[in-house]
A and B are shown apart, each in its own frame.
Chain A
Amino acid sequence: MQAFVTHRGVVAVLDRENIDTDQIIPKQHLKRIERTGFGAFLFSDWRYFPDGSPRPDFVLNQEHGRRASILVAGKNFGCGSSREHAAWALMDFGFRAVIAPSFADIFRNNSGNNGLLVIELPEERVQMLAQRGRKSGYELKIDLENQTIRDDIGFKIDFAIDPSRRSRLLQGLDEIGLTLMHEADIAKFEQRRSLSSHAPRRG
């Protein structure tokens, strides 16, 4: 997994609530068996006309949007389907972080497992960032080590993050590796369960 320590990048704003994973990566693109190459399909129903040509009014088709790496969006971002393709598509396009007032649980986990940093900020702070981010080329610097976000014109805010997620992101650590360090615990649990009257039984 790609580590996240600090990142400076251009902001793109999607000022909508409840952006679901069906919008982030529509279903017609879920049939591939690879993890890569989904960036081309990110937000594809919003980004392209049915004939495949780009919609000029969509932020990711604008000059600053094409090079954006920090997405600012409305609350409950990533709701709906569990498709990890949503996190893959955002990363593959070039996004390293999403800032919103809240995130759906599964999307949050999927992002953490792929090195995509999701940051929750109070609604009015997100609104302020959205307002500034509409100016083309607005940049933010995110420092995960110190849990701060800054811009070049005096904005600074601290953010909270689950400490275990933070440390895995900082080190780019694969969760499976960590869990396998508990192999003895897992084996012991299985052994104990096999003797328990509460263990599931199959006919």
Chain B
Amino acid sequence: MQTAKTLFEKVWDAHVVAKREGEPALLYIDLHLVHEVTSPQAFESLRLAGRKVRRPDLTFATVDHNIPTTSDERFHIKDQIAAQQIATLRSNCQSTGIPLFDVGSGRQGIVHVIGPELGLTQPGMTVVCGDSHTSTHGALGALAFGVGTSEVEHVLATQCVAQHEPRSMRIAVSGSLPQGTCAKDLALEIIRQIGTDGGTGYVLEYAGDAVRALTMEQRMTLCNMSIECGARAGMIAPDDTTFAYLKGRRYAPGADAWDTAVSYWRSLATDSDAKFDNEVAMDGSRLEPIVTWGTNPGMSAPVTARIPKPDSARTASERAAILAALDYMGLRPGTAIEDISIECVFIGSCTNGRLEDLRAAASVLRGYKIHSAVTLLVVPGSEAVKRAAEAEGLHRIFTEAGAQWREPGCSMCLGMNPDILAPKQRCASTSNRNFEGRQGREGRTHLVSPALAAASAVAGHFIDVRGWHYKEA
């Protein structure tokens, strides 16, 4: 009899090329995604060593990190160093035969948005990219993780990565998420509970009724944030939701191969008696909308709560961290989160830049104007997301509310392009990191869900979106 396996173990075992005594295993990579920031040095080293790209047919590139989001500047980048980085990617793709989804191709977008959207990411695959949020693709039941530039070069040359087998952790979320909360709140709550290093060394599997009930795009949000608790990857077993999402997408298996693919994908779910190295259980029905108040994604609280007092810290170093974070954020202990005013709102990123995220934000904004002191930037995750949103008229809801409707890219999530916060400017952001300076030097980032971000843009301060008065079209 075969031993019971987890989803992760099934995918891992199917990709081991060689087990080596005392060495990490060689794992075969089915899909390698490439972007402009973490690849130039890899291509250069490859060239210097006289090596070739082994499988350009399993490699896809796009430009996302430093691309401007205004319609004129994205074709005429003023920042010469950024322009050179993008030109370098174009020339590397051309010389190696790697397909590039370039600006204006209709397929360009944030690498973790376009992978699933084009059907490139499929259940049971191994996926890597020189970007930590590669964990996003685990939502489809792929084993997907971020790598550094040396590993990008390694994959270009060998189509493999050398990896010790990570441990496995199941996070089972029971119940159903309350109205006004979503996968973003769940991700932030998980990080708050297990800590920013709680997942280090693990591949997570999200399971339970609350996870099964999530749409594909919500699952992507959840898996995306796995890296913020330190996890190597996050995965969700493929099911009918997954198959329905994939069917008919550009690179998904065609009609002739579909049934075979689905029957394999169904077999990937964790066996009922499989063992995990660690298990965490949560009650999803008690989830509240979450807002981060500090400088890492674990420093958060329900929107109705107050900024914690440093004396609540368990250790001296945690106390020091809270004090440093509050100092950077310009906040005082005990302040009610709903009393914190904001000046900027960013809706977008690989965490929350998909169509459903934009719909959630638009449904809040319909019939409202944003607060006069607030700038709202809405940045779709891809050219396809932008097209779909415009087809539904979402862009009109945003612009009528006073928002700026931009072109796709990573944008203000990391501020490598011109979209950055001014010093001390406070931002409600649907992105994934509230690190110091992440959105601009001395910028103050609060991570929230798209709906809460939109409601806060109208109120001018954080607000509990569960009490929002939605206006009909």
B172 sits at the interface (CB 8 A): no
Contact A82 B38 (CB under 8 A): yes
Contact B131 A82 (CB under 8 A): yes
Contact B253 A18 (CB under 8 A): no
Contact A82 B147 (CB under 8 A): yes
Residue of A nearest to B147 (CB): A82
Measured in the bound complex, the distance between the Cα atoms of B253 and A133 in whole Å is: 58
Contact A79 B230 (CB under 8 A): yes
Measured in the bound complex, the distance between the Cα atoms of B442 and A180 in whole Å is: 45
Contact B147 A31 (CB under 8 A): no
B437: chain A residues at CB < 8 Å are: 22-23, 26, 45
Partner of A164, one of B23, B122, B147, B423: B23
Contact A79 B436 (CB under 8 A): no
B303 sits at the interface (CB 8 A): no
Contact B196 A76 (CB under 8 A): yes
B401 sits at the interface (CB 8 A): no
Contact A35 B41 (CB under 8 A): yes
Partner of B17, one of A30, A104, A164, A182: A182
B363 sits at the interface (CB 8 A): no
- Report how many A-B pairs have Cβ atoms within 8 Å: 194
Which residues 308-333 in B have Cβ within 8 Å of A in the complex? 317-318, 320-321, 324
Contact B200 A105 (CB under 8 A): yes
Residue of A nearest to B163 (CB): A109
A110: chain B residues at CB < 8 Å are: 148-151
Measured in the bound complex, the distance between the Cα atoms of B120 and A50 in whole Å is: 43
- Segment with Cβ contacts to A, from B24-32, B351-359, B377-385: B24-32
Which residues 109-166 in B have Cβ within 8 Å of A in the complex? 119-120, 122, 124-125, 130-132, 146-151, 153-154, 157-160, 162, 164
Taking the closest CB of chain B, its distance from the CB of A158, in whole angstroms, is: 19
Taking the closest CB of chain B, its distance from the CB of A125, in whole angstroms, is: 14
Measured in the bound complex, the distance between the Cα atoms of B28 and A84 in whole Å is: 22
B260 sits at the interface (CB 8 A): yes
Taking the closest CB of chain B, its distance from the CB of A151, in whole angstroms, is: 23
Measured in the bound complex, the distance between the Cα atoms of B253 and A203 in whole Å is: 4
Contact B158 A80 (CB under 8 A): no
- Segment with Cβ contacts to B, from A2-10, A89-97, A194-202: A194-202
A84 and B150 in contact (CB under 8 A), knowing A22-B437, A31-B37? yes
B22 sits at the interface (CB 8 A): yes
A63: chain B residues at CB < 8 Å are: none
- Segment with Cβ contacts to A, from B79-87, B271-279, B283-291: B79-87
Taking the closest CB of chain A, its distance from the CB of B362, in whole angstroms, is: 29
B1 sits at the interface (CB 8 A): no
> B1-43, CB under 8 A of A: which get 1 and which 0?
0000000000000100110101110101011000001101100
Contact B416 A31 (CB under 8 A): yes
Taking the closest CB of chain B, its distance from the CB of A156, in whole angstroms, is: 25
**How many residues of chain B are within 8 Å of chain A by beta carbon?**
84
B66 sits at the interface (CB 8 A): yes
Measured in the bound complex, the distance between the Cα atoms of B125 and A182 in whole Å is: 21
Partner of A76, one of B37, B197, B252: B197
Contact B200 A180 (CB under 8 A): no
A186: chain B residues at CB < 8 Å are: 17, 26, 28, 54, 158-160
Contact A179 B148 (CB under 8 A): no
B45: chain A residues at CB < 8 Å are: 35
B44 sits at the interface (CB 8 A): yes
Measured in the bound complex, the distance between the Cα atoms of B146 and A180 in whole Å is: 22
Partner of A179, one of B154, B232, B415, B416: B154
Contact A17 B147 (CB under 8 A): no
Residue of A nearest to B123 (CB): A200
Partner of A113, one of B65, B148, B317: B148
B151: chain A residues at CB < 8 Å are: 109-110, 113
Measured in the bound complex, the distance between the Cα atoms of B132 and A29 in whole Å is: 18
Measured in the bound complex, the distance between the Cα atoms of B201 and A102 in whole Å is: 11
Q: Most chain-B Cβ atoms within 10 A of its Cβ — which of A76, A104, A113, A176?
A: A176
Q: Most chain-A Cβ atoms within 10 A of its Cβ — which of B131, B197, B250, B442?
A: B197
Partner of B433, one of A80, A162, A179: A80
Give A contacts to B, CB under 8 Å: 15-18, 20, 22-23, 26-28, 30-35, 45, 50, 74-76, 79-84, 87, 102, 104-106, 109-110, 113-114, 162-164, 175-176, 178-180, 182, 185-186, 189-190, 193, 197-198, 200-203
In addition to A22-B436, A76-B230, 16 A-B residue pairs with Cβ atoms within 8 Å of each other are A17-B318, A22-B414, A33-B41, A74-B317, A84-B148, A104-B230, A106-B146, A109-B147, A110-B148, A163-B22, A185-B18, A186-B17, A190-B159, A193-B28, A200-B30, A202-B120
Give 10 A-B contacts (CB < 8 Å), ordered by A residue.
A18-B196, A20-B296, A23-B435, A80-B433, A80-B435, A163-B22, A179-B158, A185-B18, A185-B26, A197-B260
